[in-house]
Chains A and B, each alone.
Chain A
Amino acid sequence: MSDISSAYPPPVIQFPKALEPFYFATENFRGDYFGTTTTRGEHYFRPLPHEMVTIGFTEDVYFPGVFIGSGVKPLGLFCAAGSHDVFETMFRLYGGDGEKTWNFEIEHVPQGLEWVEVAPGEIIASEAVYFEIVATSDPQQACDGYYRQLRRQGLFERRKSNPLQRQRIWGSWNFGPMQHVTQEYVLRQLPVLKERFPSVKFVQIDDGYERPYPSGQRAQIDLLYGKGGSYDPVKFPGGPRELVRQIKAHGLRPATWLGFWAAGTSPMMQEHPDWVLRDDMGRPLVYRSHFAAVTGGPYDLCVLDLSMPGVQAYLERLCATVFGEWGFEGVKLDFYSFAFQIRRARFGRGGRTAAQYLKWLEDLFRRHLPEDGFLGWCSAVGVGSPFQGQADYFRYAEDIGSGSWELAKRIALWTLNTNMLLREHPIVPNIDAIGWAPDFTMDQWLSFLALCAISGGTVEIGGDLGQLDDEKVLRMNQCLEMCDLSSRVRCLDVPGGKIGLPPAVWVSEKAGKVRMAAIINWADRARMIGTAALDQCCSDWRSMTKVWPSAARVRAKGVELPAYGSLLVRR
């Protein structure tokens, strides 16, 4: 220590070292994505750092806030963005006095711009920020006041019209043919949906329907640019209008997937290289992948610059066609977040920030969709943010794809990360689809369904439904029925150090009461899982109803479960 002190000391967090402070931010576990394409964090919690850490600077969707808790007593500080209209909110920790205080800054950054210009006399409004000192060291219990305030700000308004609270989705990608989807495959599902999945109303055609280019690459958001049709005429001989007509004829609602980047070999990119968003060094923001490759590859996928008038006009026409002329009533907008969260992205025509262009995009889709249609955000590996605008769902975690036990475990870890601070849900936190996968054993599959059910965010199914036996149909319908936007999921055994297996004990709460509980053995051997924490928060869980059969043996101090087994109970 030195006796030198600054005349202008920095803002600090006061949190004595003796209290063993740690911090949680969703980025601890998620890590960066766009730059590194890695998503494999190993910790939820980290000690307060002496090195500089900026929370809110990583890419893809994250929660814009931080929780600092004590490792020795129930005490914490919670701080989060209160709005996201213009600026990104970032929180910087950078050392401290080593005893009592930790340097702490908040920055509001005009993402997508180098700077903002301020006219003479003009004052720019900042984003709102919320602070609270809480009597808990569990971030899952630190945010009630924050959400009360967000509710007053009108953040939950879209929930009134969100159709997914009652109407679920069948999607063609997961547990299905993925990019090999055909008209025949989709139409084959319609009578099965109608007859066996009464809560499913939307039929969502995922990637794979678009026309291929001579290059071997499939169209993405550019599917309506120029001549040559939009749909693949071999896979979808009837085209979009016939597809929509058939879906509606079955009393169902058509929805579509749109990939919010342009195929690098498309006429759009050949004629308008200036439509590609660039970084702060003028380099085009391009990804290379076999995704969207019909043959050959890998090919470039280009992020569009929304500040370009031509891009705006094209998207306006796209929406007018897809929703107005063709009649789709819902959209999964995939890969949507690159343009708004690549930190080095710079819009070609300055003046509006990424948050403002995102709002423009959201308004565009809302204007063309029916009021009770859905807008779904899907990013590569998003976590959760309360600021998802007037959308109806956001897909978090990883793509379940064809399904596997290893993926189910990862999704469990994501579910906790997403819900740790996103305690209430202005829109549906979509865990991705459920469906049968032969790679699962029956025990593994039911445990995955238990996770999906207790997450409260299961609105989507997938797969070739005619292949399912009665029991699988029943379990999937039960799982869909348990989706509830107003429920909150909480883990009672959150891993404190390096993460091994996902947490075993989960509860779903509504109006302060436990409505469901799940105990899941993620291990590949039988285990006794202690339930002391569950007994404490819900003394009558043993008398709740088993949702489906389980080999669990309930004991006085815990539950004995076979490898991969689980117990799901509800009131």
Chain B
Amino acid sequence: MARVEFLKDEVGWVNLRPYAVISGPAGARAHAYSIGVEQKRAGGGWWFGRGSRIMVRRLYGCGGFDG
């Protein structure tokens, strides 16, 4: 999975890496999320669009997932 870094000089965000991507069986329950990785330059910064796939940190009752 992609590792994302936004750095300029000595400051920025490092390792904005998602935890897991849901594509599990019925009944998978997501409790908390990290962010997607499909970013683009926008405005002068970086924009993670709504189309990013959701990243799930904790799963309940899920037999398997891709992450």
User: A residues near B, CB below 8 A?
Assistant: 9-16, 19, 70, 75, 77-79, 82-83, 85, 87, 101, 104-110, 114-133, 144-149, 152
Contact = CB atoms under 8 A, between A and B. Distances in A.
B54 A125 contact: yes
Contacts of B60: 115
A126 B55 contact: yes
A152 B13 CA distance: 24
A126 B13 contact: no
Interface size class of B (residues with CB under 8 A): 35 or more
B50 A128 contact: yes
A79 B28 CA distance: 30
Given A123-B53, A131-B6, A132-B46, A106 B12 contact: no
Given A130-B47, A131-B46, A106 B26 contact: no
Given A120-B24, A146-B43, A108 B11 contact: no
A149 B60 CA distance: 36
Interface of B: 6-17, 21-36, 42-55, 57, 60
**Nearest 10 A/B pairs, CB to CB:** A132-B45, A145-B43, A145-B44, A115-B29, A149-B43, A108-B33, A124-B54, A129-B48, A133-B8, A126-B54
Given A9-B15, A11-B17, A125-B53, A148 B33 contact: no
Contacts of A146: 43, 45
Given A85-B50, A118-B22, A120-B24, A149 B13 contact: no
Contacts of A125: 50-54
A120 B26 CA distance: 5
Given A12-B14, A19-B11, A109 B28 contact: no
Given A11-B16, A130-B46, A148-B43, 16 more contacts: A9-B15, A11-B13, A11-B17, A12-B13, A12-B15, A13-B14, A14-B11, A14-B14, A15-B11, A77-B13, A108-B32, A124-B53, A125-B51, A127-B50, A128-B52, A131-B48
Most buried by B among A16, A107, A109, A110: A107
A89 to B, nearest CB: 9
Nearest to B49: A128
A83 B51 CA distance: 11
Contacts of B10: 14-16, 19
A82 B54 CA distance: 15
Contacts of B55: 126
A115 B30 contact: yes
B36 to A, nearest CB: 5
Contacts of A147: 43
B34 to A, nearest CB: 6
A132 B13 CA distance: 10
Nearest to A115: B29
Nearest to B39: A131
Nearest to A85: B50
Contact of B45 (A124, A127, A133): A133
